[in-house]
Amino acid sequence: QVTLKESGPALVKPTETLTLTCTFSGFSLSTSGVRVSWIRQPPGKALEWLARIDWDDDKFYSTSLKTRLTISKDTSKNQVVLTMTNMDPVDTATYYCARIGKLGTDFDYWGQGTLVTVSS
């Protein structure tokens, strides 16, 4: 059974760095072909893809946000970590981690999401 769960602060201040952790079970990021992504959704708005990390430690980032994002993995803990620097109120959103499907082109399992509010 595949599960993912996001954790991190519910509130961050402008200019601070956000660190989110995705803890998963039912698969391993040391297995060839496994990939995990982060996706966010501002309240009442559409989904936005942020970053992806692969089993072989390849990393890919949203073009518009890549200067602010870092994705990493801890295979022994079954965790993926996303950091986003210089947070702004427009970054207020629910942040989801999701496993990427076998073709590498879609998201087949999602976490429940964690709401992050950016406010002073």
Binding site for other proteins (CB under 8 A): 37, 46-49, 52, 60, 62-64, 96, 98, 101, 103-108, 110-113
Reduce the DSSP state of residue 18 to 3 states and report it: strand
**SS3 letters for 27-69?**
CCCCCCCCEEEEEEECCCCCCEEEEEEECCCCEEECCCCCCCE
Residue 84 CA: distances (Å) to CA of 2, 66, 70, 93, 95: 26, 9, 7, 13, 11
Report, in Å, the least distance between residue 26 CB and other proteins: 15
Report, in Å, the least distance between residue 45 CB and other proteins: 8
Q: Which is nearer to other proteins, 16 or 62 (CB)?
A: 62
Q: Which is nearer to other proteins, 16 or 55 (CB)?
A: 55
Of 31, 21, 23, whose CA–CA distance to 4 is shortest?
Answer: 23
Q: Which is nearer to other proteins, 29 or 97 (CB)?
A: 97
Q: Which is nearer to other proteins, 46 or 120 (CB)?
A: 46
Report, in Å, the least distance between residue 111 CB and other proteins: 7
